[in-house]
Structure 1
Amino acid sequence: MSKHIPQSLSPFFQPDEIALTEAFLDQAHVIRPAEDRAALDRIQRHMAHTAASLLDRPEPDDPLVFLDGIHEHVSVEKLNDFRLAVFRAMNDQDWLRPAYFSVARQALQTLVGNELSMQRRVNLSIQLPNDDSSLLPVHADVWSGDSPYEVVLWIPIVDCFATKSMYIAPPDLDREIQERFTDFEGRSAEDIWRRIEPHVRFLEVPYGSYLLFSQNVMHGNRVNIEPTTRWSMNCRFKSVMSPYADKRLGEFFEPITLRPATRLGLEYKLPGGFQE
């Protein structure tokens, strides 16, 4: 019997949908193999090609090895300019967003809906070893104006593990901290981190897989003390008809899978003569 889906509704779900739903609601995230590995490999190859071109390096034979070792070619001082150049080059590709979506299409449709809005730009993070300039302090995105109806599709372009990855607070601890948030009034994100540090775990997300997580739950990263560089991309998705917050439809989000009945409904106008 499902813990989260009422018994009366469970016949409407397939067993694999129930299992995915249970895992996501229990942990506020799921890690799964890429649903379209060819699309993911295309993203990785193009990213490695772009990075090599920007650095005037030869085309890499092994994109993962090249990207893992990018700290040998890019200094901390030049990292952000380099990251932005790769970010722009990737988002200039009209195939990027459809390919990115296809990596987790079925999971997104199960967990979010089949009428989706997608962020208009796919974000890129690069974290060099021992670099403290690329840190994301503990936070939940809803604290800064995101809709609680969003999920984040986080895709590693190299193997991500331990401090080369990100962490998510366990849902029970997250609820406890957020319910007592006034206890941290006047204190810093680092104070929250010290409270949750013994209980969080850094997620192991190898290349060839993806992470879907609720950005309502506290998460972040720390200094990457592993010997290789982290490359990851992230993008938000939400149901088209769910409430928006500061990030609006048409500005930050764009509908990608609007269904015909919804299109007809949005376009329909009653003929004149009907009473209100």
Structure 2
Amino acid sequence: MALIERFTTAQEDELAREFLANGYVVRDVDDRAALDALRHEIVRLACEHLKCDLPADDGAFLNGIHQRVTVAEINALRLHVFNGLNAHSWCRPTYLSLARSIVEGVVGNELAMQNKVNLSVQMPNDETSTLAVHADVWSAETPYEVVEWTPLVDVYDTKAMYILRPEVNRTVRERMSTLKDGGREFDLFEAYKDEFHWVPVKYGQTLVFSPILLHGNVRNDTAESRWSLNCRLTGLFTPYASDEKCLGRFYTPVTPKVASRIGMNFRAPEGF
């Protein structure tokens, strides 16, 4: 009989080391067929909105969406796809399946998930679609969560998202606390622009990162459009940071185990 002295596997330890060192991991999705089917439905919904035929190549269609719509029209298209996608009962289970091994390795296997899977579209040279540098925890989201961010096309250079390295991210609070205005006029991007790392992610891969890290995107100066999905996941029993973004409002339990379901419904007898 082999005796075991560790509670975690070598693979789990390596994942933890990489996540702590970088604040994120990039891996191939767990279920490529599910990603392909998810992307195809997004293309179908886009074609439904545009009243055009389905393309022969889903990736080429998404990369070239700026050839079909203007900047003024893209948000209406995005909302149509977002609403149609989230109307499907399979949307969130399928999305979780893409990164389940990473999420369970980093967070755990009893999860709460954001109520909607978000969709972002960033066309070339579109100044209106940039996302200023921020950290999700600054918007009252729990620091115990992770963000599952999955592109529907290859992303690279300014078509990708940038993340601040953990060792640099730790300096932000102290630096801002010394400013007279509390950092309200502090240009975070300009202050750290040489420290941000643009994370290339190929179609077929997913990025899972910590909400504590500063991140965002700049104007997409490539010749292709970026499409990406994102959603937040946290441990079912971890603390929530606000009444607005808490269990039952912002998050829904998705993988409670039966012992937890029994425990949550237990009421001790009175009189003892």
TM superposition score category, shorter chain reference: over 0.9
Name the CA distance, whole Å, in 1 between partners of 2:21 and 2:138: 22
2:200 is the counterpart of 1:204: yes
Q: Identity over the aligned pairs, expressed in percent?
A: 42
> With structure 1 as the length reference, what TM-score do the two structures score?
0.93
1:34/1:104 contact within 8 Å kept? yes
Give SS of 1:138's match. strand
Matches within 5 A, 1:97-112: 97-112=92-107
2:215 is the counterpart of 1:219: yes
Give SS of 1:51's match. helix
Give SS of 1:226's match. coil
Name the CA distance, whole Å, in 2 between partners of 1:231 and 1:129: 12
Gaps in structure 2 of 5+ consecutive residues: none
Alpha-carbon deviation of 1:200?
Answer: 1.2
Give SS of 1:236's match. strand
Give SS of 1:133's match. helix
Matches within 5 A, 1:15-94: 15-94=10-89
Name the CA distance, whole Å, in 1 between partners of 2:116 and 2:186: 29
Structure 1 equivalent of residue 253 of structure 2: 255
Which stretch has the larger CA shift, 13-22 or 183-192?
183-192
Alpha-carbon deviation of 1:10?
Answer: 7.6
Name the CA distance, whole Å, in 2 between partners of 1:189 and 1:43: 41
Name the CA distance, whole Å, in 1 between partners of 2:73 and 2:193: 31
- CA deviations 1:146-169 (Å, max 9, x no partner) are 111111000001111111010000
Name the CA distance, whole Å, in 2 between partners of 1:100 and 1:136: 23
1:184/1:192 contact within 8 Å kept? no
- CA deviations 1:82-124 (Å, max 9, x no partner) are 1111100110111111110000111111100111000110000
The amino acid that maps onto 1:203 is V
Name the CA distance, whole Å, in 2 between partners of 1:131 and 1:224: 7
CA distance 1:256–1:180, change in 2 (3 Å): same
Structure 1 equivalent of residue 150 of structure 2: 155
Give SS of 1:159's match. coil
2:135 is the counterpart of 1:137: no
Alpha-carbon deviation of 1:75?
Answer: 0.7
Structure 1 equivalent of residue 226 of structure 2: 230
CA distance 1:207–1:189, change in 2 (3 Å): farther
Name the CA distance, whole Å, in 2 between partners of 1:179 and 1:26: 20
CA distance 1:157–1:113, change in 2 (3 Å): same
1:138/1:190 contact within 8 Å kept? no
Name the CA distance, whole Å, in 1 between partners of 2:54 and 2:188: 44
Give SS of 1:42's match. helix
Alpha-carbon deviation of 1:183?
Answer: 4.0
- CA deviations 1:221-253 (Å, max 9, x no partner) are 000000000000000000010001230111110
Alpha-carbon deviation of 1:188?
Answer: 5.6
Structure 2 equivalent of residue 272 of structure 1: 270
The amino acid that maps onto 1:258 is P
Name the CA distance, whole Å, in 1 between partners of 2:186 and 2:198: 17
Structure 2 equivalent of residue 6 of structure 1: none
Runs of at least 4 residues of structure 1 off by over 2 A? Answer: 182-190
Number of aligned residues = 266
Structure 1 equivalent of residue 163 of structure 2: 168
The amino acid that maps onto 1:46 is E
Name the CA distance, whole Å, in 1 between partners of 2:232 and 2:17: 21
The amino acid that maps onto 1:272 is E
Alpha-carbon deviation of 1:182?
Answer: 2.2
Gaps in structure 1 of 5+ consecutive residues: 1-8
CA distance 1:260–1:189, change in 2 (3 Å): farther
Name the CA distance, whole Å, in 1 between partners of 2:199 and 2:48: 31
